[in-house]
Structure 1
Amino acid sequence: MYFEEFYQGQEFHLEPFVMTLEEIQDFARRYDPQPIHIDLDYAAEGPFAGVIASGFHTLSAVWGRWIETGRFGRETLGGKGLERVEWRAPVRPGDTLKTMVRVVETRGSLNQPRGSVRLYFETKNQAGTVVMVTEGEVLIKRRSP
């Protein structure tokens, strides 16, 4: 989508997906090798009484689903950064995650053929508990300069 196709208040809903134990452990082994994400026995005795997903896994999985929608294609120039990331509740094996993406702000550049779009992501589990929120800004080409 081009910059002009985004507007403040616009919402998108990503397809729900399930976080499996295998995916949680595989991601953790590669990128966040803490026992709470990998070791069943250790995690069972921990504060969450079981394995939980790395917050970075949740963030990456949600971002991947957003990219799969095709809304960010060749028009996207790159991310400017994340303003916030909050992991509000643990994500457990078998959780089904649903994400709403809202356009918070759009700002056109005065001297470049692009604009910035600020997006807010809210992810909930199958019980409706918010497990993660994040907000970030992306640079996107204008359809015409």
Structure 2
Amino acid sequence: MKFKDFEVGMVVTHPPVVVTREDMLAFARSFDPQPFHVDEEAARESRWGGLIGSGWLTCALAMRMVCDAALKGSESFGSPGLERLRWPKPVRPGDALRLEATVDSKRVSSSRSDLGILRWTWRMFNQDDELVLELEATNMFELADEQE
């Protein structure tokens, strides 16, 4: 999508993606090797009662979904950061996660007319419609082509 295509209030969606046990373990072994992410026996004995996916895996999946659903082919060139990142429910092996990204605001920078700023809230839900991720993201878009 192009910056001009985003509208305040619109919801960008991505269909469910199933999180496999193997993907969860591989990600956790590389990036978040806490026992409840990498050791099934330790996870069973933990407060979680079984293996759960790293929140950072959930963020990575959300980023992939946002890229596929909206940012691929756009003028987006990065983000200055995220706010209010939350993981209200753990992700379990076999969960089917879907994305809803709601555009909260859209504006052209007051100091640079070639810079578009989009703020949106990303939410991921599992197959039971339980919220597993919520964050507010800001994306920057190059508007030079639109200004000509």
TM-score normalised by the chain length of structure 1: 0.94
Tell me the equivalent position of 1:132.
133
Higher mean displacement: 1-10 or 90-99:
1-10
RMSD: 1.3
Q: 1:123 to 1:23 in 2, by over 3 A?
A: same
Q: What fraction of aligned residue pairs are identical, expressed as a percent?
A: 33
Distance 2:69 2:98 in 1: 14
Cα deviation for residue 74 of structure 1 reads 4.9
Ranges of 4+ aligned residues in structure 1 off by more than 4 Å: none
Q: Give ranges in structure 1 of 5+ residues lacking alignment.
A: none
Distance 2:92 2:60 in 1: 15
Q: Give ranges in structure 2 of 5+ residues lacking alignment.
A: none
TM-score normalised by the chain length of structure 2: 0.92
Tell me the equivalent position of 2:42.
42
- Between structures 1 and 2, the one with greater helix share: 2
Tell me the equivalent position of 1:144.
146
Higher mean displacement: 69-78 or 98-107:
69-78
Given residue 141 of structure 1, which amino acid in structure 2 is its aligned partner?
A: E
